[in-house]
């Protein structure tokens, strides 16, 4: 493969990957707790253009990268942007937002999963669950309530409301908040859930900052994504013109050689 064509193909494939991430980010701009994804370019290993062309030959046709997974022969990785989003007030007692680093832990059929989405509800057994029915984990296991309007303090302690008003002196549960050494390795499962092979560590109660009656907004700026969309499209078109121009130049050179022979 020609070095010029290899460089053009490499650039266009990266632009396509960026467009895919941008479209996903914009589609989830209103999803609570969503973390935007970015395609980060990596240097091709080896020296000289030969190593670059070899890497492009081995890239294959795979363009659908997932978080933390290297694609296109190691030319870039897709990583989540872990910056926190702003908080919006909902006034609902079972809407909980994390105002500090960390993740809520939930139990699924596939094992433990992690999320920053705190729009919860009670199931028929009184368990605190996600909208998909996955139990939210507390320090001591599943959180079971007898009333739908608990009081949850900033450190994640859950108090059961008394029939006559007020709260009990002793909390009935503690919402579990965990963190990871490398949160960028979390992989999306869908429905706002993520999983990883890493073992989490529990965030100390004093370091937990929760806001009851709030949800965390996605950390997506529509204006920023639109600007990156335009930039990526223009760069793709430029690389396409380079490839077409080079192809026409080679074609013209071949025709000239044919006339001389």
pLDDT tens digits, 86-123: 999 999 999 999 999 999 999 999 899 999 999 999 99
Strand runs (DSSP E) across 161-213, as ranges?
173-174, 177-179, 187-190, 193-195, 201-202, 210-212
Q: How confident is the model at residue 261 (pLDDT cuts 50, 70, 90)?
A: low
Residue whose structure tokens are 């909902």: 90
- In the predicted model, is pLDDT for residue 70 greater than 60? no
pLDDT in tens, 146-168: 888 889 999 999 998 666 555 45
Q: For residue 213, how far is the Cα from the chain centroid?
A: 24
Overall average pLDDT of the 33-55 stretch: 63
Question: In the chain, what are the domain boundaries?
Answer: 3-82+220-260, 87-216
- In the predicted model, is pLDDT for residue 132 greater than 70? yes
Which DSSP helix (H) or strand (E) runs through 25? helix 3-27
The structure's pTM equals: 0.73
Q: For residue 31, how far is the Cα from the chain centroid?
A: 11
pLDDT in tens, 184-198: 788 888 888 999 988
Write the secondary structure of 224-247 as one string of H (helix), E (strand) and C (coil). HHHHHHHHHHHHHHHHHHHHHHHH
């Amino acid at each position: 493969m020609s070095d010029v064509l290899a460089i053009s193909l490499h650039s266009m494939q990266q632009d396509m990957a960026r467009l895919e991430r941008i479209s996903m980010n914009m589609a989830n701009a209103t999803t609570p707790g969503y973390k935007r994804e970015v395609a980060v370019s990596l240097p091709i290993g080896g020296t000289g253009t030969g190593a670059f062309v070899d890497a492009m030959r081995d890239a294959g046709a795979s363009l659908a990268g997932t978080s933390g997974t290297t694609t296109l022969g190691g030319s870039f990785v897709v990583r989540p942007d872990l910056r926190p989003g702003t908080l919006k007030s909902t006034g609902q007692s079972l809407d909980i937002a994390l105002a500090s680093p960390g993740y809520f832990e939930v139990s699924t059929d596939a094992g433990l999963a992690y999320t920053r989405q705190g729009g919860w509800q009670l199931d028929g057994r009184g368990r605190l669950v996600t909208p998909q029915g996955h139990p939210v984990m507390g320090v001591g296991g599943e959180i079971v309530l007898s009333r739908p309007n608990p009081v949850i303090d900033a450190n994640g302690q859950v108090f059961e409301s008394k029939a006559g008003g007020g709260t009990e002196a002793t909390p009935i549960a503690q919402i579990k908040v965990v963190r990871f050494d490398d949160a960028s390795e979390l992989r999306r499962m869908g429905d706002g859930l993520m999983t990883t092979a890493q073992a989490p560590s529990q965030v100390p109660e004093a370091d937990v900052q929760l806001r009851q009656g709030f949800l965390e907004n996605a950390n997506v700026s529509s204006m920023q994504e639109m600007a990156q969309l335009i930039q990526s499209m223009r760069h793709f078109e430029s690389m396409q013109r380079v490839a077409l121009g080079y192809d026409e130049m080679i074609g013209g050179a071949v025709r000239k050689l044919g006339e001389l022979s």
